[in-house]
Structure 1
Amino acid sequence: MAISPLPHSPKSSLLRRRRSALLAGALSLALVGGLASEALMAQSGAAQAAAVTVPQATAQQMPSFADVVAAVQPAVVSIRVKADMGPQTSSFQGGDDEGGDNGGMQLPPWFKQFGIPFGKGGANRGGADGGRSPHNVVMGQGSGFFISADGYIVTNNHVVDKATEVTVLTNDGKTYTAKVIGTDEKTDVALIKVDGGKDKDFPFVKFAEGDSRVGDWVIAVGNPFGLGNTVTAGIVSARGRDIGAGPYDDFIQIDAPINKGNSGGPTFNLKGDVVGMNTAIYSPTGGSVGIGFDIPAATVQQIVADLKEHGSVTRGWLGVQIQPITDEIAESLGLKSDKGALVADSQDGSPAIAAGVKTGDAILSVDGKTVDSPRDLARKIAAYSPGTNVTLSVWRDGKAQDIQVKLGKLPDQQQQASADDNSGGDSVGKLGLSVAPASDVSGSPSDKGVAVVSVDPNGPAADKGIQVGDVILSVGGKAVAKPSDVSAGVDTAKAEGKKAVLMQLKSGTQLRFVAVPVAKA
């Protein structure tokens, strides 16, 4: 009997078909899942590659200062100083003390010069008093940079001021003892020198030619907080800043972060040339807030040349006391602008007196170069050597004329021009004051002119700073001796159609001019 396999039942066949379909579906899902996983992995890899690879065009647009820094950094040095300050407070304005000598640079408290003190010695005793006078020995540090292969280094005066020992640490870790060649308090520039031996040539940098422009990239290198060579970058924010540090302020403002210890360090352009020397910062907190000030390269270069040749700086001297020309003063003089400097007084025995410069002259240019302000005149005159003949264009009696002046030598402790901005003020309507002959007023600073004996506190004269005790010396260019002379001068100005009359006043020992409106006087 033949045995045959049992026939498949319909139910069993259906179950087999379902299992086959489920298996096929599972395999399909597995296949799709595998493909999806591979796709996701591929996409993730692509994303990772995009995150670390910058397109070449974009990379070329992003500035890098690495090449410039590598070239200039070896020429930048750290400077350590031991200074005997005597019984006085340290001049290094990098600590908590905001006062002090500051190397002759008297700054408002929110401006910081930042050679940084890092230690203070004990009270060393000695001297002519048999050892009873304490000496305040201060250790400070700042920055500097080589300007020649034979070891000349530029830094700030306030870094090496009163130094008994100066040590230079180069970028490669070598230490040298430095000699102070010369310093200049008025510009805060100093020149020191190290000797590297016969076979030693130091890496050095050169000064930039021409002026940097607002918006130019700059790189500051220095020794902030004694950390060693540090590089920061920014732009030139402004030029021609006057921060009240000295008579020749002409600072470059930069936003590259500079801090205590950066004093004397260089600021470079992208060519690796020095555009300025770090000197001060604006800082309510004591640290960088992005406002720093550099001495322009041209100024540093000029001062260094004198220090190298003479050990000091000799400046031309005109011998005048000057003040700004306000709009009112310009109108009263018949000038079309407020540029220039008004001569309030000339010093006895000065080159100005010898050349015929008179009180009331407005100096408009020096050797054809326009004078913008009293401080600009001070800088221009100081740039000449004593004995130089210069041509001043002055405005006198309603017209310009040239005066030849042979400049003298600026006396010690004396500025050749005073940029006193207390130009007084103007008054409207009645003058609001009473005057009497100065010779009749006890305590008057002058026996000439008329003294102000009372001022209406609500009047225009009081509002503009005219005070009891001031002496009016002239009105409209004519000397006055009695009250009626003042009225006559005002009336003359009104008759000539002038809006203001120029008065010369003496306050204490200071002379100044005020332009008094006469339209309603």
Structure 2
Amino acid sequence: MAYRGGCAAFALLAAFAFDAFGAPPPDFTDVVKRSTSVVVNISSTGKAGRLASDAASGDDEEDEERIDEGSDSLGTGIIIAADGYLLTNQHVVENADEIIVRLADRRELPARVVGSDARTDLAVLKVEAQGLPTAALGQSDALDVGEWVLAIGSPFGFEQSVTAGIVSAKGRSLPTEPYVAYIQTDVPINPGNSGGPLINMKGEVVGINSQIFSQTGGYMGLSFAIPIETAVDVAQQIRAHGKVSRGWVGVLVQPVNRDLAESFGLDAPRGALVSKVFDGGPAAAAGVRPGDIVTSFDGRPIVVSSALPPLVGQLSPGRQVPLVLLRGGREERLSVHIAELPEGDPLAAATPHPDVPERAANRLGLRLGPVPPDLARLLGLGSGGALVEAVDNDRATRAGLRQGDVLSMLNGNPLEGPEAFDRAVEGLPTGRALALLVLRRSGPAYLALRIP
């Protein structure tokens, strides 16, 4: 009786949901029938490499799983050309000695890597076949948040598994891949789904499932897919040139929070705050300065800082584009030349912590000292600045300041030294928001701190 009562209650709830929303739950069967033929299972054998565990949490060392010599890595891919070109994630085939692709008709074919791109985690494969069905490609820009989407893949080796969910957000930026504006969904993704398609209700591929954000290593409701436009552009460049070229203007940017907006005289947080301008880069030649806030790039408004790197990266080197920024509360219009993104990472690792001498803390709870010459050269600091030797205040810690930071600017003005900083802070009113430009070996950043 309890079982029947439960069924009745469920039926009542379903009927209520039908009446409340005016439509039945979606039926994915037609979409799946039209889509499965273009989805392939990929298995690779080779040297130790990253498994398709897809963890995108903050600690790479803990979340990254590795496979031993000779073990298998399972993933998914889609057919993008009838003559045997496939698209998948790079980490599915990374360091592989042998790659086997299983088609929907159960044929198994050896594959070779045509090329790959680490910055987007994409790879193009080739199998020797003709007349293959190809994926219908949609437009990720046309997706609406809340729209139904589904994934097809091989989670834990269970081929052609279908899961469904909705688009949770668009244009998401992850710390490790700033040049991809990810589609966030709640579609269940597990190891083996990597490289598989994200499909809309028209049966069109709108993304390549790539990562999950997890604190356990398993699915926790946050999945990320590479927009299909990005994936196709990467695939076309790899096939045509064997590599991927991206635009570069030579700046590092960061978000503008409420306190930073106040310290820069903005009515609300918006734009991309320039924390570093690389010497000799296009932005430096155009006149961009640290502390500028980019509000428009190439005619497109920049509301959040994460929107800027993908816009720059998708441009072809050689173009000249307009740039609108705020400087000292006034709007400036510049023109910047797009260069090619250099190979490698221009930033080094974390800043080492110096020995802490006994100095008195200032009004903000910071113990400051002069910047050692070798550290100043490493950070590109010409003169002045103040080294944070200790942080004795919870407010400063919460703002992000830490031992080893070098303070180079206060509210847009260069710091001549620790004494100059202490004098400037002593003369400011209580509650005033400060904008501090902090230099670290991992990169510069603006931090906001209020006078207690």
TM-score range, shorter chain: 0.7 to 0.9
- Distance between the aligned counterparts of 1:290 and 1:433, measured in 2? 40
For structure 1, which runs of at least 5 residues remain unmatched after alignment?
1-56, 121-135, 419-428
How many residues are matched? 415
Cα distance in 1 for residues equivalent to 2:315 and 2:415: 38
In structure 1, the partner of 2:412 is: 477
**Aligned AA for 2:199?**
F
Partner of 1:397 in structure 2?
Answer: 328
Verify: 1:251 aligned to 2:182, yes or no: yes
- For the pair 1:208 / 2:208, whether they are aligned, the reply is no
Residue type of the partner of 2:329? Answer: G
> What residue in structure 2 maps to residue 81 of structure 1?
44
Q: Equivalent residue for 1:91?
A: 50
Q: In the TM superposition, what is the alpha-carbon distance from 1:498 to its structure 2 partner?
A: 10
Contact 2:320-2:338 within 8 A present in 1 as well:
yes
Contact residue 111 and residue 282 of structure 1 kept, 8 A: no
Match of 2:354 in 1: none
Residue identity in the other structure for 1:208: G
Contact 1:110–1:284 (CA under 8 A) maintained in structure 2? no
1:141 corresponding residue in structure 2: 74
Sort the Cα spacing of 1:498 and 1:292 in 2 relative to 1 into closer, same or farther, 3 A: closer
Compared CA separation, residues 375 and 456, structure 1 to 2 (3 A): closer
Q: Could you say which residue in structure 1 is the equivalent of 2:127? A: 194
Distance 1:303 1:456 in 2: 45
Paired position in structure 1 for 2:392: 457
Instruction: Look at both structures and tell me which one has the larger radius of gyration over its CA atoms.
Output: 1
1:357 equivalent in alignment to 2:288: yes
* 1:432 equivalent among 353, 365, 369: 365
Distance 1:453 1:275 in 2: 47
Of 480, 495, 513, the match for 2:446: 513
Partner residue in 1 for 2:12: none
**Is residue 170 from structure 1 mapped to residue 108 from structure 2 by the alignment?**
no
Q: Distance in 2 between matches of 1:256 and 1:143?
A: 16
Counterpart among 273, 277, 295 of residue 342 in structure 1: 273
In structure 2, what is the equivalent of residue 70 of structure 1? 33
Aligned to 2:112: 179
Map 1:97-136; keep pairs closer than 5 Å: 108=60, 136=69
Secondary structure of 1:376's counterpart equals: helix
SS where residue 171 of structure 2 aligns? Answer: strand
* Counterpart AA for 1:73: T
* Secondary structure of 2:289's aligned partner: coil
Alignment of 1:157 with 2:87, yes or no, is no
Q: Contact between 2:210 and 2:226, CA under 8 Å: does it hold in 1?
A: yes
- Secondary structure, in 3 states, of the residue corresponding to 1:248? strand
Residue 67 of structure 1, CA deviation? 2.1
Give the superposition deviation at 1:464: 3.3
Q: 1:351 to 1:64 in 2, by over 3 A?
A: same
Which secondary structure state, in structure 1, belongs to the residue aligned with residue 446 of structure 2?
Answer: strand
Relative to the length of structure 2, the TM-score reads 0.79
Q: CA deviation at 1:195?
A: 2.3
Structure 2 counterpart SS, 1:380: helix
Q: Secondary structure at the match of 1:250?
A: strand
CA–CA separation in structure 2 for the residues paired with 1:374 and 1:452: 27
Distance in structure 2 (CA, Å) of the matches to 1:106 and 1:461:
22
Which residue number in structure 2 is paired with residue 388 of structure 1? 319
Cα deviation, residue 201, structure 1: 0.8
Query: Deviations along 1:263-314, whole A, 9 cap, x unmatched?
Result: 1111211211012212123455555454432222222222222222222211
Aligned to 1:33: none
1:162-311 alignment to 2 at 5 Å? 162-196=95-129, 200-209=130-139, 210-283=141-214, 286-311=217-242
Scaled by the length of structure 1, the TM-score of the pair is 0.70
3-state DSSP of counterpart to 2:386: strand
Listed one character per residue, the Cα deviations across residues 380-431 of structure 1 (whole Å, up to 9, x for unaligned) are 1111112221211121132011111112111111269x9xxxxxxxxxx933
1:314 aligns with 2:245: yes
In structure 2, stretches of 5+ residues that fail to align are 1-17, 350-361
Whole-angstrom CA distance in 2 between matches of 1:298 and 1:191: 15
Aligned to 1:35: none
Return closer, same or farther for 1:463/1:221 CA change in 2, 3 Å cut-off.
closer
> Could you report, residue by residue, the CA deviation over 1:461-491 in whole angstroms, capped at 9, with x for unpaired residues?
4553445554433333333325664466558
Identical pairs, percent: 35
Aligned partners of 2:256 and 2:271 also within 8 Å: yes
Q: Give SS of 2:142's match.
A: coil
**1:37 is matched with which residue?**
none
Alpha-carbon spacing, 1:435–1:252, altered in 2? closer, same or farther (3 Å): closer
How much has 1:192 moved relative to structure 2?
1.3
SS in structure 1 at match of 2:112: strand
Distance 2:300 2:309 in 1: 13
Give the distance between the partners of 1:204 and 1:415, measured in 2 at CA.
39
1:226 positional shift: 2.1
CA distance in 1, matches of 2:171, 2:126: 30
| Aligned-CA RMSD value | 3.6
1:501 Cα shift? 4.0
Q: Is contact 1:145-1:265 (8 Å) kept?
A: yes
For residues 277 and 319 of structure 1, what CA distance do their matches in structure 2 show? 29
